[in-house]
């Protein structure tokens, strides 16, 4: 392993879980150092004094759980997070704070590898986009929507969504012929998505740029946005400059 490899922190109150994770991580070629903590308090002290590329974080721990740990740290002390837990009910909260992945115990080596590959892709993209944008964004854009139903939790990648519609304190994800409701105001959802891929075209509408088929002039400077499936959306003139910048079109 190279001296400039990844520095990873494991936070879990179960020794066997830490041991298994350490063993698998130590076999990764780009992992340089692995530190361990058995509780949130110890992890908080370590994160304030050392720099880590990634934290593998359990949720249910005595004293301070994984979410409390994050709340008690400065944003600059928090590395990218992959949650590792036996409980599925925290998935929505985990992705709300932009966790990179959510591993359910008992997970296997391929599932861990998938999570690590997602982290590596994020890390590469972050390096490619340096310096950060004018908003000083330090967290990755939303990697998936979490839709909780009575019987299951659905993970929907943004690229699967055709367009997004405001519905009060929720947004409606239009995924082909299927719709899903997700809690969150459309402004917050807009800020969590890559504006180069998901521009807002109306106060109540965000569209997946790859789904736009054509733009038709309408009255008062508005446009009709026609999607690949024939859906027609209104683009307000208020958002025309933003779309013009993204598409580089003389609207």
Q: What is the CATH number of the domain that holds 235?
A: 2.40.50.1020
Does 137 fall in a domain?
A: no
The continuous run of DSSP H or E covering 26 comes out as helix 15-26
CATH number at residue 113: 3.40.50.2300
What's the average model confidence in pLDDT over 64-80?
85
Let me know: does 80 contact 119? Beta carbons within 8 Å. yes
| Residue 57 near residue 82, CB atoms below 8 Å | yes
The answer on pLDDT for 224 being more than 90 is yes
Tell me what percent of the chain is helix, strand and coil, each rounded to the nearest 5. 35, 30, 40
Domain that holds residue 185: 145-247
- Using the predicted structure, report yes or no on whether residue 153 has a pLDDT greater than 70: yes
Q: Give the per-residue pLDDT at 137.
A: 47
> Does 192 score more than 80 pLDDT?
yes
Kind and range of the H or E run holding 233: strand 232-235
Which among 128, 154, 181 is the end of a domain? 128
pLDDT at 98 over 50: yes
Same domain? For 66 and 91 the reply is yes
How many other C-beta atoms can be found within 10 angstroms of the C-beta atom of residue 34?
19
Question: 154 and 119 share a domain?
Answer: no
| Residue 177 included in any domain | yes
Q: What is the average per-residue pLDDT within 41-69?
A: 91
User: What's the rounded mean pLDDT across residues 59-79?
Assistant: 86
Structure tokens at 201: 């075209």
Indicate if 90 and 39 belong to the same structural domain: yes
What confidence tier does 132 reach under pLDDT thresholds 50, 70, 90? very low
Cis before residue 131, ω within 30 degrees of 0? yes
Instruction: Provide the pLDDT for residue 188.
Output: 82
Is residue 135 over pLDDT 50?
A: no
Beta-bridged to residue 7, according to DSSP, are 33
Domain stops at, among 77, 96, 128: 128
E strand or H helix that includes residue 57 = strand 54-57
Give the whole-angstrom CA distance, residue 81 versus residue 26.
Answer: 18
In a domain? residue 140: no
Q: What are phi and psi of 165, to 5 degrees?
A: -120, 135
The predicted structure's pLDDT at residue 136: 45
Nearest to 70 by CA among 89, 96, 88: 96
* Domain match, 150 and 120 both: no
Half-sphere exposure of residue 17, counting CA atoms within 13 Å on the CB side? Answer: 23
178 and 117, same structural domain?
A: no
Residue 79 in tokens:
């590395």
Beta carbons within 10 angstroms of residue 108's beta carbon: 10
Please check whether residues 44 and 97 belong to one and the same domain. Answer: yes
Q: Same domain, yes or no, for 236 and 168?
A: yes
Task: Provide mean pLDDT across the span 125-136.
Answer: 52
Q: CA 195, 200, 205, 210 torsion: positive or negative?
A: negative
115 and 48 share a domain? yes
Does residue 128 have a pLDDT over 90? Answer: no
Residue 227's pLDDT band (boundaries 50, 70, 90)? very high
100 and 149, same domain (yes or no): no
Q: What is the pTM of this model?
A: 0.56
In a domain, 84, yes or no: yes
More confident residue, 175 or 88: 175
Domain boundary (94, 128, 162) is at 128
Q: Is 7 helix (H, G, I), strand (E, B) or coil?
A: strand
Q: Are residues 11 and 119 in the same domain?
A: yes
Residue-wise burial string across 45-71, b where 16 or more C-beta atoms lie within 10 A, e elsewhere: ebbeeeebbbbbbbbebeebbbbebbe
Contact between 183 and 167 (Cβ < 8 Å): no
Question: What was the pLDDT predicted at 81?
Answer: 92
Contacts of 217 (CB under 8 A, 6+ apart): 223, 224
Higher pLDDT, 244 or 140: 244
Contact 76, 65 (CB under 8 A): no
Q: For residue 3, what pLDDT is reported?
A: 46
């Amino acid at each position: 392993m190279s001296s400039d490899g990844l520095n990873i922190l494991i936070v879990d109150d179960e020794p066997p879980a830490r041991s298994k994770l350490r063993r698998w991580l130590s076999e990764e070629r780009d992992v340089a150092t692995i530190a361990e903590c058995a509780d949130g308090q110890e992890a908080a002290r370590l994160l304030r004094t050392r720099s880590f590329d990634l934290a593998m974080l359990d949720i249910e721990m005595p004293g301070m759980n994984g979410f409390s740990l994050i709340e008690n740290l400065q944003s600059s002390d928090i590395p990218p997070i992959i949650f590792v837990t036996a409980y599925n009910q925290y998935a929505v909260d985990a992705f709300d704070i932009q966790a990179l992945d959510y591993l359910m115990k008992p997970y296997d080596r391929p599932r861990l590898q998938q999570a690590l590959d997602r982290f590596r892709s994020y890390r590469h993209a972050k390096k490619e986009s340096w310096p950060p944008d004018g908003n000083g964004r330090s967290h990755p854009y939303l990697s998936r929507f979490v839709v909780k139903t009575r019987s299951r939790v659905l993970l929907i990648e943004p690229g699967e969504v055709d367009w997004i519609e405001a519905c009060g304190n929720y947004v409606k994800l239009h995924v082909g012929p299927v719709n899903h409701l997700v809690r969150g105001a459309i402004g917050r959802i807009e800020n969590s998505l890559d504006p180069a891929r998901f521009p807002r075209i109306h106060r109540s509408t965000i569209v997946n740029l790859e789904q736009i088929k054509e733009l038709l002039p309408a009255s008062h400077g508005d446009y009709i946005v026609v999607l690949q499936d024939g859906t027609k959306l209104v683009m307000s003139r208020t958002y025309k400059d933003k779309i013009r910048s993204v598409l580089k079109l003389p609207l």
